[in-house]
Amino acid sequence: MFEQTQAFEARRPLTLPARLLRSLHLDAPLLIALLAVCAIGLGVLYSAVGQNPALVVSQTLRLGVALAALLVVAQIPPAALRKWAPWLFLAGIGLLLATLFFGDVGKGARRWLDLGIVRFQPSEVLKLAVPLMVAWYLHERALPPAFHHVLVILLAAFAPAVLIAAQPDLGTAVLVACSGFFALLLAGLRLRYLFAAGALALAALPVLWHFMLDYQRRRVLTFMNPESDPLGAGYNIIQSKIAIGSGGVFGKGWLNGTQAHLEFLPERATDFIFAVIGEEFGLLGLLALLGLYLFIVARGLYIAANAQDTFSRLLAGSLSLTFFVYVFVNAGMVSGLLPVVGVPLPLVSFGGTSMVTLMAGFGILMSIHTRRKLLAA
Amino acid sequence: MAPRIRFKDPWREQRLFFGRLIAAAVVIVLLTGVLVARLVQLQVLNHPHFAGLSQDNRIRIEPVPPTRGLIYDRHGQILAENLPAYQLELIPEQVDDMRATLSALAELDLIAPGEIDRILALARRQRRFEPVTLNFRMDDEQVATFAVRRQHFPGVDIRARLRRHYPFGAATAHTVGYVGGLSARDLERLERANYAGTSQVGKTGVEFAYESLLHGQVGYRQVVVNARGRVLQRLETPAERPATVDGRRTSRLPVPGQDVVLGLDIHLQLAAIEALAGRRGAVVVLDTRDGDVLAMASTPGFDPNLFSTGISQTDYQALLSDPDNPLFDRALRGIYPPGSTIKPQMALALLHHRVVGPGERLFCPGHFRLPGSSHRFRDWRREGHGNVDLIEAMAQSCDVYFYAHGSTLGIDRMHEFLSAVGLGERTGIDIQGERPGLVPSREWKRAAFRRREDQAWFPGETVIAAIGQGYMNATMLQLAHSTAVLARRGVRIQPRLAIASADPLTGELINLPSVELSQVVLEDERHWDLIRDSMIAVTRGARGTARLQLRGTSYLVAGKTGTAQVFSVGQDEEYDEDEIDERLRDHALFVAFAPAEAPEISIAVIVENGGSGSSVAAPVARAVMDRYFAARER
């Protein structure tokens, strides 16, 4: 195996930056696209926070931490990740339970765990731990998975999602559930199970409704008819639609978005920053951003397609698809296609925790991609 | 079917994976297509519409708070209303020299000089086009002073708004309650959107309990703001020409709050306050037929209008540090030893459990001793009452009669019976803050004390509980309620303040139901008559304790006096009013229902540290009842 790698390198002489990237186990196309999105994000953020440089600096610091996480995770070989997967998962569940009982309350939700030095959201750990766990579980098993394996996996994916939804944090719960489900789907979940699950989910909707909290119900109702509550929850949607719509094709220009600057648009630096981009850079700006996101997803799927064992394949595929869900749910809710669940726009929204997890996820993708063993063709 | 063993097939699995990956890619493309279509719809097709909303004229939605419902007494007298009030406001961006302007206003006595720094700090924290309130309560003279000098103060103006006003002031402070500034804590329990634009919310009494009825539904309207966000124009007449965003109405008239009608009779309430004559005390009058609270007075009171206009720190401190504690609702929250006023209920318990027969006599030597103990439980009358039966024991309020038979009855049966007639638990009146009072029991004592030796129930404690002393305590509302149960021969009706709500637009009146609680059923119905007769003997009997105070009433009163000890006197000492600190003097109590033969009202009176129930509390009750029956005659 070792000689084969050597032979490969001998065939294609590498430039210095390429050699550096290779030795750090980084993937250049993915890294460039990620940095481009982050750069756009910082620019938009500067406008959205009312040109307050302090906030942009603090976001840049977070970005630095996130990139460091990417760099560290990229050094871990997939085999090691596979070995740790179940333990990470159990630790994540433990932290979630701890949060449920001892967590700090912020904005009416119990999401934070204070470990003395740092406060963090254990639900973020699960965004990686769940796909790792599912990929680990399916790695050794014959695919498509048998029925009882499907049940085990659903439990592994949905139990943490339910715990997270109880915090309550519906957005993260959806993402965690998605990440586990996508791994299962890619593993070749039989379509009849899929349809049965779909039917079951539809039947469960009224039950779910029953268990939803007031504010969650209100969001769904408001989504159906935002104008019913223009002073409350519907206000965000009405204002974000005006922001996006008034941007037109070319936008009002950077720092010229009146919706954002006159404080019509709530949460403009966090969950609703997509509307600021739409207002200031117009349809073209949004299409460019979506193009970058799609490129990242496509690169992720390409890495998944080229991965060489079941674990890596499922993990890479699941992480990439979940990233797309991130983008789609945020853009969908801000433009009024989906109800408002608290999902930030990845890499752009102000705030640090989710960015670190995202970048760590991309570190996993890069680790998978840069450690392919070349098989004799 | 034979179990099939499946092996891992890398090629098949990889093909399956690729298939799924491609499917996922297709779904991604489709979803992205939907998203792009949506963006095109918003940004290209509807762009002119949204641009119009956003650009030259920016329309902001502004909440229009509803008008708070009024509160009436049972005869339509207004107890809480909304009056226009004037406040002085300043818009920072229109004022060149803030400090000079504020100093000039302070010289005209329009704002307090001490406020200047606070106002400057406040103005720095908010946006420059938003008004800062300088003076929340301008009197007529201040309004006039400013009006003639308005041209010297660009950027400063008077704004009219509605202010809650309580015409009867202190008389209704505890029952009607008051409104105050909306706080962050209020918003946690209220629906936030509905309170956008609302500045005041019910804090106590009926104002708090009926907040959801009184408040109404918020309305909204569009206002035009300029590029800097300042309101240029309010689009009025939202009802005739509703403005729209996205083709839907975005303005709505507020729905005014419901008016609330109380069972309270304000004139009876005033009579009660007058009768209390500035002493610390409380009067509760209930309508025995439907539980309406006809009067519920606690003195001294305070002016609720201070709170509704934003109470100043000095005024608030003065109320808090007043030794008479005017903020304290003595009728609802004051718990007092009921003393002899629970003897009717106790006598009923004795009859019901056949501890004593109706005509059975007991010799009262002026004190009682438990078997095997040397401790003397003294009667209020040192020389004793002689040979007394139940009616005489009640009329003269003989303590020994109740000591002796109460100790036979025992604490368990005593607790059970008194609880059934409405003592020791909240009556469930429709405003918050009611105290439950206490009828002690063995179980209660075990839970209430930490030390093991304190947890046991002692026979001597039963003896003093029999005359409403010791651990026992009650609120005046409870005593009035329990007395009403006697009047209604066991029927218990929950006391209530609000009896109806009225729609201010249509005038439609909706009666609120009166709630009946579990009835007290006696084996022998004649016991009710006996108790009533014994209470009539209190006011009419030759030796009745209240015969002098209730002499010559046009209506027949069944009552009971009570003198409750605050301070225990030693075994061989004499209680001497003049020697004891005023705060340690006995509480004077009186309960009654009338007319005795066909009861309409029940009443409970306390005068704190007033002395004797017959000479101090009974005259208060009489004044109130006289007022009730005089009004009924008219």
B14, B15, B17, best to mutate vs chain A, most A CBs in 10 Å: B17
Res A3: pLDDT: 46
**For residue B207, pLDDT beyond 50:** yes
Res B573: pLDDT: 58
Count CA atoms within 13 Å of residue B10 on its CB side.
6
Q: Is B7 on the interface with A (CB under 8 A)?
A: yes
**Straight-line distance from the first to the last Cα atom of chain A, in angstroms, rounded to the nearest whole number:** 13
Of how many residues is chain B composed? Answer: 634
Q: Is A208 on the interface with B (CB under 8 A)?
A: no
Nearest-CA neighbor of B174 among B316, B304, B334?
A: B304
Q: Is A112 on the interface with B (CB under 8 A)?
A: no
A149, A242, A315, best to mutate vs chain B, most B CBs in 10 Å: A242
Q: Is B31 on the interface with A (CB under 8 A)?
A: yes
DSSP, collapsed to helix, strand or coil, labels residue B527 as: helix
Contact B60 A264 (CB under 8 A): yes
Distance CA B543, CA A152 (A): 87
Q: Is B27 on the interface with A (CB under 8 A)?
A: no
CB-CB contact of B569 with B524 (8 Å): no
Give per-residue pLDDT as tens, B265-292.
999 999 999 999 989 999 999 999 999 9
3-class SS string, A322-368: HHHHHHHHHHHHHCCCCCCCCCCCCCCCCCCHHHHHHHHHHHHHHHH
Q: Is A146 on the interface with B (CB under 8 A)?
A: yes
Name every chain B residue with its beta carbon within 8 A of the beta carbon of A218.
Answer: none
CB-CB contact of B389 with B561 (8 Å): no
Name every chain B residue with its beta carbon within 8 A of the beta carbon of A305.
Answer: 18, 21
The mean pLDDT of B116-129, rounded to a whole number, is 71
Minimal C-alpha gap between B181 and chain A (Å): 20
Query: Residue B409 contacts by C-beta under 8 Å, 6 or more apart in sequence?
Result: B349, B350, B353, B355, B462, B466
Distance CA B124, CA B69 (A): 36
**For residue B247, pLDDT beyond 50:** no
Q: ipTM of this model? A: 0.89
The residue that leads in pLDDT, B257 or B312, is B257
To the nearest 10°, report the CA torsion of B410, B411, B412, B414. Answer: 90
The residue that leads in pLDDT, B90 or B624, is B624
Question: What count of other Cβ atoms lies within 10 Å of the Cβ of residue A57?
Answer: 11
Query: Residue B187 contacts by C-beta under 8 Å, 6 or more apart in sequence?
Result: B195
Q: What is the per-residue DSSP string for A219-266?
A: HHHHHH-GGG-TTTTHHHHHHHHHHHHHHTTT-S-TT--HHHHTT-ST
Determine the residue type at B52: G
Q: Among partner residues A182, A283, A337, which is closest to B40 by beta-carbon distance?
A: A283
Residues of chain A scoring pLDDT < 70: 1-13, 104-119, 219, 222-233, 260-264, 352, 374-377
Q: Could you tell me the pLDDT band of residue B599, with boundaries at 50, 70 and 90?
A: very high
Tokens representing residue A16 in the block = 């210095």
Q: Which residues of B are catalytically annotated? A: 340
A239, A246, A277, A338, best to mutate vs chain B, most B CBs in 10 Å: A246
Res B9: pLDDT: 78
Contact A304 B229 (CB under 8 A): no
Contact A248 B43 (CB under 8 A): yes
Minimal C-alpha gap between B81 and chain A (Å): 27
Minimal C-alpha gap between B85 and chain A (Å): 27
Res A251: pLDDT: 87
Minimal C-alpha gap between A220 and chain B (Å): 16
Contact B17 A313 (CB under 8 A): yes
Res B533: pLDDT: 95
Give per-residue pLDDT as tens, B381-433.
888 899 999 999 999 999 999 999 999 999 999 999 999 999 999 999 999 99
Mean pLDDT of all residues belonging to chain B: 86
H or E element that contains B549: none
Distance CA A234, CA A273 (A): 17
Q: Could you tell me the pLDDT band of residue B584, with boundaries at 50, 70 and 90?
A: confident
Cis peptide before B440, with omega less than 30 degrees from 0?
no
The residue that leads in pLDDT, A234 or B468, is B468
Q: Is A325 on the interface with B (CB under 8 A)?
A: no
CB-CB contact of B120 with B102 (8 Å): yes
Q: Is A224 on the interface with B (CB under 8 A)?
A: no
Distance CA B135, CA B126 (A): 17
Q: Is B193 on the interface with A (CB under 8 A)?
A: yes
Q: Is A308 on the interface with B (CB under 8 A)?
A: no
The alpha helices in B277-386, defined as continuous H runs, are: 304-308, 313-321, 343-352
Name every chain A residue with its beta carbon within 8 A of the beta carbon of B227.
Answer: 258
Phi, psi of B244 (to 5 degrees): -135, 150
Contact B58 A290 (CB under 8 A): no
3-class SS string, B102-118: HHHHHHCCCCCHHHHHH
DSSP, collapsed to helix, strand or coil, labels residue B302 as: coil
Nearest CA in chain A to B42: A245
Contact A185 B20 (CB under 8 A): yes
Distance CA A372, CA B136 (A): 74
Contact A186 B218 (CB under 8 A): no
The residue with tokens 């509760």 is: B284
Res A342: pLDDT: 78
The mean pLDDT of B454-471, rounded to a whole number, is 92
Q: Is A144 on the interface with B (CB under 8 A)?
A: yes
CB-CB contact of A218 with A229 (8 Å): yes
Query: Residue B619 contacts by C-beta under 8 Å, 6 or more apart in sequence?
Result: B275, B549
Name every chain B residue with its beta carbon within 8 A of the beta carbon of A233.
Answer: 193
DSSP, collapsed to helix, strand or coil, labels residue B94 as: helix
Distance CA B46, CA B28 (A): 26
Phi, psi of B325 (to 5 degrees): 50, 65
Q: Could you tell me the pLDDT band of residue B240, with boundaries at 50, 70 and 90?
A: very low
**For residue B25, pLDDT beyond 70:** yes
Give per-residue pLDDT as tens, B30-62.
999 999 999 999 999 998 888 877 765 466 667
Contact B35 A246 (CB under 8 A): no
Res A214: pLDDT: 74
Minimal C-alpha gap between B237 and chain A (Å): 18
- Provide the chain B residues 95-154 that lie in CB contact (below 8 A) with chain A: none
Contact A317 B17 (CB under 8 A): yes
Res B363: pLDDT: 93
Phi, psi of A148 (to 5 degrees): -70, -30
Res B132: pLDDT: 76
Res A301: pLDDT: 95
Minimal C-alpha gap between B157 and chain A (Å): 25
Nearest-CA neighbor of B223 among A334, A262, A226?
A: A262
